[in-house]
Amino acid sequence: MLMEQWWRQNASPTFNKRLLFAAEIRGGTRKRRAPQSRALCHPWNKVMSIVEISEKSWQGILKVQEEAYTGVPPEEVDVLKSKWKASPETCFVFQSSSNEILGYLLAHPWNSDEPPKLFEELPRKSAGDTLYLHDLAVSNNARESGIGKQLSSKLIEVAKLRQFNRVLLVAVQGSGGYWSKFGFREVHNASICSSYGTNAKLMSLNVQA
């Protein structure tokens, strides 16, 4: 009892608050806060925005592309822009409040079971009922921030909204396991251009019932 009185009189206000908080938890009058995931706690997620690509986006997109790919060379900006010009409403960037590009997504309509070749501009007559994901990449500075997952979800959301029958992509650099978590399945015996690199896998997701 004497020790308790001494602490009340001499301990700092901050220390007393900590003692009171601990006592409330033990007594059941205060609940502990549930831990948040690393992605939710990331500061970028408080100021994030996913917006359609504009002309001002390309410098940041090229920077992210260079960081993200090691197994295949980067594509020229005119090649990337051909995908965007074909379908600007299915191409997005993830940017911070200061307009820094932290990730991007390039997708376009497609009319074949075979994926388009890399390093070539999109053919004019390519529209179809498939939404083809040409590229999705995240800056090295934003890894494990949940940006890739949000862009992937945006891809599927847009495919459903615009009533495509399926989403098609080529998984490179061992990313097949990642895409399978979103419901994508490998298309076996598919014809894939060698420009995609070794161990590339064609994957498909049906989005219409």
Percent of the chain with pLDDT over 70: 77
Q: Are residue 30 and residue 85 in the same domain, yes or no?
A: no
Same domain assignment for residues 175 and 196 = yes
Whether residue 104 is found in the same domain as residue 80:
yes
Lowest mean per-residue pLDDT among 3-12, 70-79, 153-162, 173-182: 3-12
- Mean pLDDT, the chain, as a whole number? 83
* pLDDT for res 2: 45
Return the bridge partners of 93, or none: 51, 104
Regarding whether 47 and 106 lie in a shared domain, the answer is yes
The residue with greater pLDDT, 115 or 4, is: 115
* CA–CA distances in Å: residue 192 to residues 42, 104, 150, 153: 37, 23, 27, 25
Candidates 165, 175, 166, 167; CA nearest to 196 is 175
Farthest CA pair distance, the chain = 87
pLDDT of residue 31: 44
What are phi and psi for residue 163, nearest 5 degrees? 60, 40
Residue 126 corresponds to which amino acid? Answer: S
Same domain for 66 and 117: yes
Alpha helices (runs of H) in 141-198, residue ranges in sequence order:
147-161, 176-180
Are residues 63 and 17 part of one domain? no
Helix/strand/coil for 185: strand
pLDDT of residue 197: 87
- Note whether 3 and 82 are same-domain residues: no
In this model, does residue 24 exceed pLDDT 70? no
**Of 168, 172, 169, 155, nearest in space to 92 by CA:** 155
Coil/strand/helix, residue 76 = coil
> Can you name the residues that pair with 110 across neighbouring β-strands?
130
Q: Within this chain, do residues 42 and 54 fall inside the same structural domain, yes or no?
A: yes
CATH of the domain at 159: 3.40.630.30
Q: State the total domains in the chain.
A: 2
Residue 189 and residue 110 in one domain:
yes
My answer on whether 75 and 99 are in the same domain is yes
User: What is the model's pLDDT at position 143?
Assistant: 81
What are residue 92's DSSP bridge partners? Answer: 52, 105
What domain range includes position 96? 38-206
Task: Mark whether 132 and 189 lie in a shared domain.
Answer: yes
pLDDT for 88 beyond 60: yes
Residues 83 and 120 in one domain: yes
34: confidence class by pLDDT, cuts 50, 70, 90: very low
Reply yes or no on whether the pLDDT at 205 is more than 90. yes
pLDDT at residue 166, rounded to an integer: 98
Q: Tell me: the pLDDT tens digits for 103-156?
A: 999 999 999 999 999 999 999 889 999 999 999 999 998 887 899 999 999 999
